[in-house]
Chains A and B, each alone.
Chain A
Amino acid sequence: MNLDAHIPEGPIDQKWENAKFKFKLVNPANKRKFDIIVVGSGLAGGSAAATLAELGYNVACFCYQDSPRRAHSIAAQGGINAAKNYQGDGDSVYRLFYDTVKGGDFRSREANVYRLAQVSRNIIDQATAMGVPFAREYGGTLANRSFGGAQVSRTFYARGQTGQQLLLGVYAGLSRQIKAGRVTMFTRHEMLELVTVEGRAAGIVTRDMVSGKIESHAGHSVIMASGGYGNVFYLSTNAMGCNVTATYRAYKKGAGFANPCYTQIHPTCIPVSGDYQSKLTLMSESLRNDGRVWVPKKKEDCGKKPSQIAEADRDYYLERKYPAFGNLVPRDVASRNAKLVCDEGRGVGPGGYGVYLDFAEAIGRLGRPAVEGRYGNLFDMYQRITGDDPYSTPMRIYPAVHYTMGGLWVDYNLQSTIPGMFVLGEANFSDHGANRLGASALMQGLADGYFVIPYTLGNYLAGQNPKKIDTDHAAFKEAEKSCKERIDTFLAIDGKRTVDSFHKELGKIMWDHCGMARNEAGLKSALELIPALREEFWQNVKVPGSGATLNQSLEKAGRVADFLEFGELMVRDALERDESAGGHFREEHQSPEGEAVRDDENFAHAAVWEYKGDNATPVRHKEPMTFEHVKLATRSYK
Chain B
Amino acid sequence: MNLTIYVWRQKDAKDAGGFEKYTDECKGISEHMSFLEMLDVVNDRLTEKGKMPIAFDSDCREGICGTCSMVINGRPHGPWKATTTCQLHMRAFKDGDVIYIEPWRSKAFPVIQDLIVDRKAFDTIIQAGGYISTNCGSAPDANSMLIGKEVSDSAMDAAACIGCGACVAACPNSSAMLFTAAKLAHMNTLPQGKPEEAQRTLSMVGAMDSAGFGNCSNHLECEAACPKEISGQVIAAMNRGYAKASFGKR
Contacts and interface: CB of A to CB of B under 8 A. Distances in A.
Answer yes or no: A and B touching, Cβ < 8 Å. Answer: yes
Interface of A: 47, 50-51, 54, 65-70, 72, 74-75, 84, 86, 122, 124-131, 133-142, 158-159, 161, 163-165, 168, 171-173, 175-176, 178-179, 185, 187, 210, 237, 239-241, 273-274, 276-279, 281-282, 380-381, 384-385, 387, 450-451, 454, 496, 498, 500-501, 542, 544-545, 549-550, 552-553
Nearest to A173: B131
A559 B136 CA distance: 34
Nearest to B49: A544
A158, A163, A550: residue with the most chain B Cβ atoms closer than 10 Å: A550
Given A125-B140, A273-B32, A66 B119 contact: yes
Interface in B1-51: 11-12, 30, 32-34, 36-38, 40-41, 43-44, 47-48, 50-51
18 contacts: A84-B143, A130-B131, A130-B134, A164-B64, A175-B127, A175-B130, A187-B123, A239-B61, A274-B30, A274-B32, A276-B33, A276-B37, A276-B38, A276-B41, A281-B61, A498-B44, A498-B47, A553-B47
Nearest to B82: A380
Q: Of A127, A384, A498, which is in contact with the most chain B CB atoms at under 10 Å from its CB?
A: A384
Interface string B127-150: 110111111111111110111110
A544 B163 contact: no
Contact of B62 (A70, A129, A279, A454): A279
A381 B112 CA distance: 31
A602 B140 CA distance: 46
B59 A387 contact: no
Contacts of A545: 52
A195 B241 CA distance: 49
A550 B140 CA distance: 45
A187 B58 CA distance: 15
Interface of B: 11-12, 30, 32-34, 36-38, 40-41, 43-44, 47-48, 50-53, 55, 57-67, 80, 82-83, 87-89, 91, 112-113, 116, 118-120, 122-123, 126-128, 130-143, 145-149, 152-153, 155-156, 159-160, 162-163, 186-187, 190, 192-193
Given A129-B140, A498-B47, A54 B135 contact: yes
B203 to A, nearest CB: 9
Given A185-B123, A542-B48, 12 more contacts: A67-B119, A68-B123, A69-B66, A69-B126, A70-B163, A128-B139, A129-B132, A134-B152, A138-B149, A171-B126, A276-B38, A387-B91
B60 A72 contact: yes
A550 B64 contact: no
B201 to A, nearest CB: 15
Chain A CB within 10 Å, residue with most, of B43, B50, B51, B62? B62
Nearest to B142: A128
B102 to A, nearest CB: 18
A164 B67 CA distance: 13
Given A133-B156, A179-B128, A544-B51, A385 B33 contact: no
Contacts of B148: 136, 138, 140
A384 B37 contact: no
The 3 A-B residue pairs with the shortest CB-CB distance, nearest first, are A140-B146, A172-B131, A129-B139
Contact of B146 (A70, A126, A133, A141): A141
Contacts of A273: 32
> Which of B12, B64, B148 gathers most chain A CB within 10 Å?
B64
A131 B193 contact: yes
Nearest to B45: A498
Given A141-B146, A171-B126, A165 B159 contact: yes
A137 B137 CA distance: 25
Contacts of A496: 48
Contacts of B59: 65, 70, 72, 239-241
Contacts of A173: 131, 134, 136
Contacts of B57: 66
B190 A210 contact: no
Given A125-B141, A128-B142, A65 B47 contact: no
